[in-house]
Structure 1
Amino acid sequence: MARSSSDSIVHEQAAGWLMRLQAAPNDVATFEAFEDWRDAAPEHREAFDAVQDSWALFGEQAAAPELLVLRRNALDRAGWTGRRRGFDLSRRRGLAAGLAALVLAPLTFYGWRRLRPDADQTLRTAIGEQRTVTLSDGSRVSLDANTLVKVAYSPALRLAEVVEGRAHFEVAKDRARPMKVRAGRRTVTALGTAFTVEHEGERVVVTLVEGRVAVTETASPRGVAPPPKELAPQQQLVFAADAAPRMHEAVDVERAMAWREGKLVFDDETLADAVARVNNYSRVKIVVEDAPARALKVSGIFNAGDTPAFVEAVQSYFPVDVSTDDSTVQIRSRS
């Protein structure tokens, strides 16, 4: 069935974005602009998925001389060389036509087998469960308890989202496809490196173990996006609701990674944040009843899942009252 004129334009735009992403895989501005275009309309996402599927048909033959010539001719028609990163699609219709011919042409002529992109994955751990998953590119993801991570790979990008909980990423090196990990409005971009992302409510914590990463933020409804922040090993970047981001230098990596050994480490954290993590390991939930109690600062090391020991420590050190029933523990400031 022939496409309408508007459908063709959208598919041509999608093909153009694929080429831009492949030509500049580490360009954060390009990726953010692509996301804005993709999320602007459902047909944009559908068109880009279709272009990715078609591009995947090339498989390992994408570097064949015939295809390299086609690709170079398409770029030359657009006047887009390796030294020029941007293009104006509305002014260069030749690019759209060239890309459409390159990406969407029937490939039975070449006799190549269809190769699909890496399948999307949803990784989930239950309360008190931890596990490590090896992704299709060789990267490893270690999930803390009660964590949800979504993964979507394509020929041009490796995308993951920490929807909730905490995950440690050991990223396989692939300079053609950077790994981007989202957590709320923040995105971590990395190549071959190891880092942890924690996402609890409005709080996001990025801890770099080795390599380098860049952390970007999408613009809030009230302002523009701040510049990217780069992390070096042993640095930790903390985002909290209604507070400026805080960079911690020379973080004790062993303490930061103690959760993988079944330990919960709190270093001057609010009781509300500490309780959110403790609750990931027990079906008996702690509820902090009032704002003064939630703002109390907690430090210490606890065994994951030992809720009674945590509650006993809080009751011993702070002016709070504790009451319990079969499923909850209530903590409130003492009158």
Structure 2
Amino acid sequence: MSAASSEIDRQAAEWAAKSDHGQVPAADELAFRRWLAADARHKGAFMKALAVQIHLEKMGKAHPELAPAVTARPKSATRFVMIGAIAASLIVAMYAGLFRLSLENHHYSTTLGHMEVVALSDGSAMTLNSGSKAEIQYALLSRDVTLAKGEALFDVAKNKLRPFRVAARNAHVRAVGTSFSVKNVAGSPIEVLVREGVVAIETHDSSGNHTLQAPANRKVIITDNGAVTMTSASTAEVTNALAWREGYIFLSRRTLAEAAAEFSRYSPITITMADPAVSNRVVSGLFKANDPVGFAKATAEAFHLSFDQKGNTVLLSAQRNKADK
């Protein structure tokens, strides 16, 4: 065994000793995920170390006379590696097949203007909004999702032994059985909306790692520098925020510039405004997500604006006085 492999096994043994059947303490989870991502060999080493640990615990239960020797967690990772090495040659092959069968890795994406409901193998469901991309990684003791971009609603099947985790930029959302959405749109902070149950949101800033518990009817905003804000959201507000599942956009006192950015997530047609006096106008209402032209025409009529469309670009501008023409 090379020195590098030996060091990886030592680190894996330390993480296995810290974990509770694969679930590391919340305070260590970000560091653990970074360790896993640092080297492709780390995940396999951790799985093998965890398999040894679980097997030793089962041996202790089956043979009580051996319990003091095999069930107590070693104080030293080096001692754990030595004990594990003796058992590893006998049990790693058996467990390796089990862990391989339990691993899943799938990629899902939606194009502009399309949504998709994905039935996951554990009974959970993921609803992807327009222009979204997600990766699913399921293992025996974990259910991990990476939301690379866009927005998704997660209806999570309960399984305390396999926590469901969603990563989006610098935020990690952990749940057991609940319903929540995560929004990861370029140029905007991460948004987490809890519809049912409770989620733990883990973030990192210059002062370290932080965990926030967010119950149902809460909206959490996480900026790129790690600042977190949690506000209440009524059942009606949660329903309106998820109107995209039915093909609608709900706007509540949003500027025309913000409304235009929202419509651009669903259609190649862009709404532009050259005049700040126009772009700062405030709008509210429920609109078809795939009809930016209809929205722009209705807005032009309501605010007495000029409407001009050339190809996929719509221009809203202040109407000129007759004396200016």
What SS does the aligned partner of 2:121 have? Answer: coil
Instruction: Give the SS at the match of 2:19.
Output: helix
2:267–2:290: 8 Å Cα contact kept in structure 1?
yes
Compare the two structures and name the one with the higher helix fraction: 2
Separation in 2, partners of 1:259, 1:141: 14
Asked if the contact 2:219/2:231 (under 8 Å) is kept, the reply is yes
Q: Does 1:125 align with 2:118?
A: no
Q: Distance in 2 between matches of 1:71 and 1:35?
A: 32
The number of residues matched between the two structures is 312
User: Residue 123 of structure 2 aligns to which amino acid in structure 1?
Assistant: G
Q: Does 1:5 align with 2:15?
A: no
Whole-angstrom distance in 2 between the partners of 1:101 and 1:232:
46
Contact 2:131 2:150 in 1 (8 A): yes
**CA deviation digits over 1:2-57, x for unaligned, max 9?**
x2122211122124324533447373212122123334x4x3xx222223564798
Offset at 1:251? 4.3
The residue aligned with 1:329 is 314
Point out the structure with max Rg over C-alpha: 2
C-alpha distance in structure 2 between counterparts of 1:261 and 1:147, whole Å: 16
Q: 1:167 aligns with which of 138, 152, 157?
A: 152
Match of 1:206 in 2: 192
- Correspondence 1:147-226 to 2 at 5 A: 147-201=132-186, 202-219=188-205, 223-225=206-208
Letter in 2 for 1:195: F
Whole-angstrom distance in 1 between the partners of 2:147 and 2:48 = 28
Hey, what does 1:247 align to over in structure 2?
Answer: 231
Give 1:328 shift: 2.5
Tell me the distance in 1 between the aligned counterparts of 2:96 and 2:151: 41
| 8 A Cα contact 2:198 2:214, kept in partner | yes
Q: Is 2:138 aligned against 1:144?
A: no
Question: What amino acid is the match of 1:78?
Answer: P
Could you tell me whether the CA contact under 8 Å between 2:16 and 2:49 is conserved in 1?
no
Cα distance in structure 2, aligned partners of 1:314 and 1:170: 35
1:218 Cα deviation (Å)? 1.8
Normalising by the residue count of structure 2, what TM-score does the alignment of the two structures yield?
0.79
Q: Which moved more, 1:166-175 or 1:318-327?
A: 318-327
Q: Secondary structure at the match of 1:78?
A: coil
**2:200 corresponds to which letter in structure 1?**
A
Deviations 1:55-107 (A, max 9, x none): 7989xx9699438679985663613xxxxxxxxxxx541023334555x4344
- The residue type equivalent to 1:232 in the other structure is P
CA–CA distance in 2 between the matches of 1:262 and 1:303?
6
Letter in 1 for 2:231: M
1:1-335 alignment runs, 5 A limit: 3-23=1-21, 25=23, 27-39=25-37, 41=38, 43=39, 46-51=40-45, 54=48, 65-66=58-59, 73=69, 76=72, 78-79=74-75, 92-102=77-87, 104-107=88-91, 114-116=98-100, 117-201=102-186, 202-219=188-205, 223-225=206-208, 227-239=210-222, 245-252=229-236, 253-287=238-272, 297-316=282-301, 323-330=308-315
8 Å contact from structure 1 (residues 74, 95) kept in 2 = no
Which residue is equivalent to 1:83?
none
In 1, the alpha carbon distance for the partners of 2:190 and 2:58 equals: 46
Note if contact 1:133-1:142 (Cα within 8 Å) is conserved in structure 2.
yes
Alignment RMSD (CA, Å): 3.6
Question: Normalized per residue, which structure has more strand?
Answer: 2
Give the alignment's TM-score, normalised by structure 1: 0.77
Unaligned runs of 5+ in 2: 321-325
SS at match of 1:309: helix
Distance in 2, Cα, partners of 1:121 & 1:247: 33
Distance 1:62 1:237, change over 3 A: same
Q: How far apart, in 2, do the equivalents of 1:147 and 1:276 lie?
A: 15
> Residue type matched to 2:177 in 1?
G
Q: How far apart, CA to CA, are the structure 2 residues paired with 1:108 and 1:216?
A: 33
Deviation sequence 1:237-277 (CA, Å, 0-9, x none): 23457876241332423222222112211223344443333
8 A contact 1:143–1:167 mirrored in 2? yes
Structure 1: gaps of 5 or more residues: 80-90
* Residues in 1 aligned to 2:12 and 2:273: alpha-carbon distance in whole angstroms: 49
